[in-house]
Chains A and B, each alone.
Chain A
Amino acid sequence: MPREIDLPGLQKLLEPGDVQLIEVLPENEYEEEHLPGSINIPLKSMNPSSVSSLDRSLGTVVYCWDDI
């Protein structure tokens, strides 16, 4: 089951830096502004091919605007 984390939780996860951060919003919203180091995989295009470059041995954090 995916674990929900808040802002302090994310910052704690990012400290050691061994997680990958994915913005799932559309590409134009990602291009305007995104969290440092994040990559963009819009929800609509999330499939085995688009996630193939991700490292499955690492934790993976997804985010959008908030509770959209």
Chain B
Amino acid sequence: MTPWRWASGRASGLRVRLLLAFALLGVTTTAVVASGSYFQARTVILQQAQDAAVASLTDQLTKVYPVRRLPPSQEELDTLAHRLSDREGYAVVLYRDMRAQGAQLPEPLTPELRRAVGDGVIAWQRVSRDGEPVLLIGTQLQIDRPDGTPVPSGLEVYSVRSLASEQQSIDRLATLAWLTGGLSLVLAVLLALLAARGVLRPVRELGRAARQLGEGDLTTRLAVRGADELADVARTFNDTAGTLERQVGELRRMEADARRFVADVSHELRTPLAAMTAVTDVLDEEADRLPGDAGRAARLVSQETQTLTQLVNDLIEVSRFDSGTARLSLDDVDVAAAVTATLRVRGWADRVRAELPSGVFARLDPRRLDVIVANLVGNAFRHGAEPVSVRLCAEPDWITIEVRDQGPGLDPEVLPHVFDRFYKADTARTRSEGSGLGLAIAWENARLHQHAGQTGSLVAGNGPTGGAVFTLRLPRVVTDAADAGGVR
């Protein structure tokens, strides 16, 4: 998985998605509410300030009346402008071409405000002067004619007031809004984490339980909490695990029954077979003296009885492995001598090319070594082609015995099944000389040798020049006595 894929996988994880959704919800809600109240509060603050300023100006202007002299002199204009200026702002008074300004500042008035005032109404406008918000209020001073209708006197009064304090209040509001937004974001994230934990914990538990089940622990169950969808999943999981456990138990029981049956049958067959063997031994001796068919029949019965005995013995051996009752009886063994003895007893000593360096001692079960070597060599004679060679190699921790023949070798399709029970490589040949269990027993015997975490192995393969190669590796346990030169 590339880093990008990994990151996007993380990013679309449940926790991240929940977190994002909550954060977005929180921020959006707060933004809408905070900005709404902010704009409203700003409008109210500005409106109040403007209305108060306008009221204050018109209130001050009533003191100008009654007008006694028109046109006014420059001094009168200056006095009026001065009177209307205070801490919060200053006034500009215009009369046609004359002008009086309460403060030495650049022209603040805008043409559009002048136009509106010229139309005979009180008008105001917020403008920005050097970054500072300023409120301009302007009005004409009109003279009432005797019948009450006003006539413009030509005087215009403008009040210029700073909105800095209002700006401060509004800025404070904005800070508060941002702060509220930030707090709500933090809160939303915390809530999201909490919710994600609530959702993710059952999911994590489910994952762990599924893993345990996959690893073979069929007793795994989940604690079902609540009645939501996740609880449903947990319940389904428990039901599935229960069914699986029941069925696997049933299968195991049936398999154990079958094995016990084979073991029982084998045991039961041993006694009659012993009697039969005794009888066939006698028949064998007499076979030569029996005429024609009777002699052949006697030899056939004798041979088949031997095969049957071998089969029963193999079955008993296999059932011991299956039931786990097979035990090693270890002894310090001169491996070369043991292999030589095996070959000699079977009458193969002359037919096998043996490379057995002497002085290789190991602690192992001599009977099982005998069974393995005999099986491998016998197998080589039966299925391969001579010459058959046996080679012994000794390493500090392992001994290796390699049995090689010069036959056609093993078919790649056969290779994985060569140690299976009753596996017939040649399907056309339904009956072989062997029981069909030899290699399986050899394999089990090899695996029975265990020492310090190392397990013996038996591997089948093909040599580089053709021909099957069976390699037996057994852990080598060197005893002090063996090191001392084999003296016991």
Chains A and B are bound partners: no
Instruction: Point out residues on B near A: beta carbons under 8 Å.
Output: none
Instruction: Point out residues on A near B: beta carbons under 8 Å.
Output: none
